[in-house]
Structure 1
Amino acid sequence: INYYQLRTSNIYKDLCEMAKHLTTINLDNVTENERKTLFINLYNILTIHGIVSLTDVPKSVLDLNQFWKTTSYKIGAHFYSLDDIEHGILRGNKPHSNCTQRHFTFNDPRAKYSMRRCDPRIHFTLNRGSRSSPQIAIYSSTNIEKALNMATTSYCNSQVDIIPENREIRLSKLFLWYRNDFGRSETDVLRWITKYIDEPKQSLLKTLMDRQSSKDNLHISYKIYDWMLNHYDSLISNRVNINN
């Protein structure tokens, strides 16, 4: 994404105008699939909006202080930060990876809009502005299931490496940070992955898992996650809060 060019474009003007109208949305009048689709799209749009609104574009998203906690839209009657959307809504109000408590407290009015269960496929639709993030797409509630499967399969095929001679499997760190969303153990995670990788990787992974024993376990490693911004001309910047 060329964030500097986007900042001076009509697209950005339209984006700012769209954000003002988010307060008119009534989340009580949409289905769960519509709500899931809405928040996936808004997460990605808010990430772009937040970065473009900075005085200077950073080299890395990690250079931004509290970016996911402070960058927010007012949707309906309430404010939702990037963290609120990801953990509170889309992950079904599950704790952040470095927390033990649910994201929304029991009396938080936003909690009623959380997904009833965490669909792990959402992790492959959310773009955090980094080079290792999944690709950005616009999702529609009319075909959200198919789109989620396609996004998940695309990411897994590109980010799951199998080295059979070493009995080694290399995964994106998304599978480490959010392991509990995929299963209780690394084996559960691998079983989940087999549904979303194409041949020959799928057969290789299944064979390695079938031959697994206490004396010859699989070696699972995690790739370095590239937090560099998905933009090449970059400078360090400060945080931003988008409320209007």
Structure 2
Amino acid sequence: MNALKTTVLALLMSKSFQTKAQDHIDHMVWDQILLINVSNEGKVNYPGFIRDKFLFDKYFKSLSENYPTENSSKEEKLAYWINLYNAIAMKMIIDNYPVKSINDIENPWKQKQITVGGTPYSLDDIEHTILRKMNEPRIHFLLNCATKSSPKLWNRAYTAKNIMEALEDKSYQFINNAAKNVITDEKVNISMVFQWYKDDFKEGDIVSFINQYSDKKIDKIMDGEYMEYDWSLNERR
């Protein structure tokens, strides 16, 4: 079965990247690798990614050769840069596997992992100099840095067609996931994501943002009501 899956992916790869000039960025192979190796709960089969690494590496290289232009739609840009961020995190894990956490890798946030349009990029570069400047706070619920406390890795690729629906859906899922945020009558304990990026959420009005999506509304957030971040690997065992 694994051999069959690899053959199918190889055929998809040859079809996807036979033409460099494209009206949109093709994430078909990333979509298929994710579908095979990531569970619906976002748990990752890292040995599976390593098995498919030659396909992953070709997809990763394609991202440096095919990228949005200034005239590309916002949807195209969001899908591309979010996929690239998640792919960089994946690359660092499988290149250093086995590791217990992305923080076991030397300076993972600053490593220049890919060059796009002549500019080298790290995870921090993509998040802080590109995505956060797009005035779309919901990106924080799609970016996955291979940790248990980060938003779960979707087992599909983001595309220009699905990105806006995904931003809405993943925001709702993250905020109402009891493993990420505890919001009850008795207790409010929310993700550190909201503290780290508080200025991105409606000019710092985190309560207002959360209440857009939370099944249970909150009135305020007190100091100390942030969950300890679990940096351990989001691995399926």
> Normalised by the shorter chain, which TM-score bucket?
0.7 to 0.9
Task: Determine the structure 2 residue equivalent to 1:161.
Answer: 182
Report matched runs for 1:165-244 at 5 Å. 165=186, 168-185=187-204, 188-198=205-215, 201-202=216-217, 205=218, 209=219, 221-231=225-235
Q: Offset at 1:184?
A: 4.2
- What is the Cα-based RMSD across aligned positions, in Å? 2.2
The number of aligned residues is: 189
Does structure 1 residue 144 correspond to structure 2 residue 155? no
Q: Offset at 1:26?
A: 4.7
The 3-state SS of whatever aligns with 2:147 is coil
Q: In structure 2, which of residues 13, 32, 49 is the aligned counterpart of residue 6 of structure 1?
A: 49
Task: Determine the structure 2 residue equivalent to 1:35.
Answer: 77
Does structure 1 residue 86 correspond to structure 2 residue 127? yes
C-alpha distance in structure 2 between counterparts of 1:219 and 1:46, whole Å: 33
Task: Determine the structure 1 residue equivalent to 2:63.
Answer: 22
C-alpha distance in structure 2 between counterparts of 1:232 and 1:130, whole Å: 12
Does structure 1 residue 48 correspond to structure 2 residue 52? no
Encode CA deviations 1:103-125: one digit per residue, 9 max, x unaligned: xxxxxxxxxxxx2xx21100000
Spell out structure 1 runs of 4+ moving beyond 6 A. Answer: none
Q: Offset at 1:74?
A: 1.8
Q: 2:230 corresponds to which letter in structure 1? A: D
Q: How many percent identity over aligned positions? A: 34
Task: Determine the structure 2 residue equivalent to 1:110.
Answer: none
8 Å CA contact retained: 1:50, 1:71: no
Structure 2 runs not aligned, ≥5 long? 1-43
The 3-state SS of whatever aligns with 1:53 is helix
8 Å CA contact retained: 1:61, 1:129: yes
Q: Offset at 1:23?
A: 3.2
Q: Offset at 1:220?
A: 5.9
8 Å CA contact retained: 1:169, 1:220: no
**Are the structure 2 counterparts of residues 140 and 60 from structure 1 closer, same or farther at C-alpha, using a change threshold of 3 Å?**
same
Structure 1 runs not aligned, ≥5 long? 93-114, 234-244
Structure number, greater radius of gyration = 1
8 Å CA contact retained: 1:129, 1:229: yes
**Under a length normalisation based on structure 1, what TM-score does the superposition of the two structures give?**
0.70
8 Å CA contact retained: 1:169, 1:219: no
Q: 2:83 corresponds to which letter in structure 1? A: N
**Under a length normalisation based on structure 2, what TM-score does the superposition of the two structures give?**
0.72
Q: Offset at 1:71?
A: 4.7
